[in-house]
Amino acid sequence: MTRMLLTATAALFIATQSLSAGVVETGSTRFIIVMNQGGEVIDGPTQLDYSDTLGLFDEYLQSSAWNEFHGGSSEALQDSNVSNGVYDVHLSVGTDAGGGTMGTDIALGYAEAYFEVLFTLDETTDFNISGTYNAFGEINGAVSEVELRIDSLGGGSPSQVIAYETDECCPSINFDGTLLPGDYAFRAHVLGIVDHSFMTSYNTSTSGTNVTMTLDIPMDMPADMDCSGTVDLMDVAPFVQALLAPADYDVAYPNCDKNLADINSDGQRDGGDVSHFASCVVSSNCP
């Protein structure tokens, strides 16, 4: 069977035509930032980024800076996951700052979390965005902001703001829409700032999102072995791995299903699936 797989693999490189599931994720930007200052004491800014397009980004940051009278602390969290056609976004930031004497020192807190996924639609597609968000800041120098939007990057439907709030706690969202074929970015941004210079009281700022965007596309495409939303030459190596080393495949692709290699639907992942896999990749003719 190994020789058959190698022969089929070589044949696949003759063509580059691919089968798409209606959407392809082409990139993402995800990060969190925190920073604090109390007088001359500064902590940050500190930033954590996620470099891959697909997958889970689950990170937390905290900072704290005080002098004798002034200072505060900040925290930022992102728990986001990008899979084909489903974008789960949990962002949370909080910051506080205060002081004990006026006119001498700076008390500053800053926290930010940002999520962006780029995707391309090759057909008109319905979508839903549901969940909750909040932006709550006490008065006197506190800024709390949350924004959810879909931006058109080329063709398709115009950009649209799904939600934008400042200083409002905890509305829910259940938004349905339709996107024409084109290139898009789904973006979520939360921000919390407290600038408490020359003040004696103590203020806080918090904001966050917990939403999911779901595109109405066919899921679990046979032969899409890397779960990219497209059947192409990048699926060849994971297809071979799913047949010959399924345990290794599970480790390498924890969010994918090795049974997508059973393309002829006979309940087996074996040499009988090779010609069908080649058909999926080369001619977009997938069972």
pLDDT band at residue 210, thresholds of 50, 70 and 90?
Answer: very high
pLDDT digits (tens, 9 = 90+) for 26-60: 999 999 999 998 888 899 999 999 999 988 999 99
Please give the pLDDT value at position 125: 93
Three-state DSSP at 6 gives helix
pLDDT band at residue 12, thresholds of 50, 70 and 90?
Answer: very low
Q: Which residues contact 7 (CB under 8 A, 6 or more apart)?
A: none
Domain map (residue ranges) of the chain: 2-19+220-283, 23-215
Please give the pLDDT value at position 15: 43
155/146: higher pLDDT? 146
H helices, E strands: number in the chain: 4, 14
pLDDT digits (tens, 9 = 90+) for 149-194: 999 998 889 999 999 888 777 778 999 999 999 999 999 999 988 8
Average per-residue pLDDT for the chain? 83
Q: Which residues contact 202 (CB under 8 A, 6 or more apart)?
A: 96, 97, 98, 196
**Alpha carbons 274 and 282: distance in angstroms, whole number:** 12
Please give the pLDDT value at position 47: 98
Please give the pLDDT value at position 109: 87
Which of 3-7, 13-17, 282-286 shows the lowest mean pLDDT across its residues? 13-17
111-127: average pLDDT: 94
Of 250, 176, 257, nearest to 219 by C-alpha is 257
pLDDT digits (tens, 9 = 90+) for 219-250: 667 888 888 777 888 888 999 998 899 899 98
pTM: 0.73
Instruction: Count the neighbouring beta carbons within 10 Å of the beta carbon of residue 119.
Output: 27
Side-chain half-sphere of 29: how many Cα atoms within 13 Å?
10
Q: Distance between the two ends of the chain, CA-based, in angstroms?
A: 21
Please give the pLDDT value at position 135: 81
pLDDT band at residue 14, thresholds of 50, 70 and 90?
Answer: very low
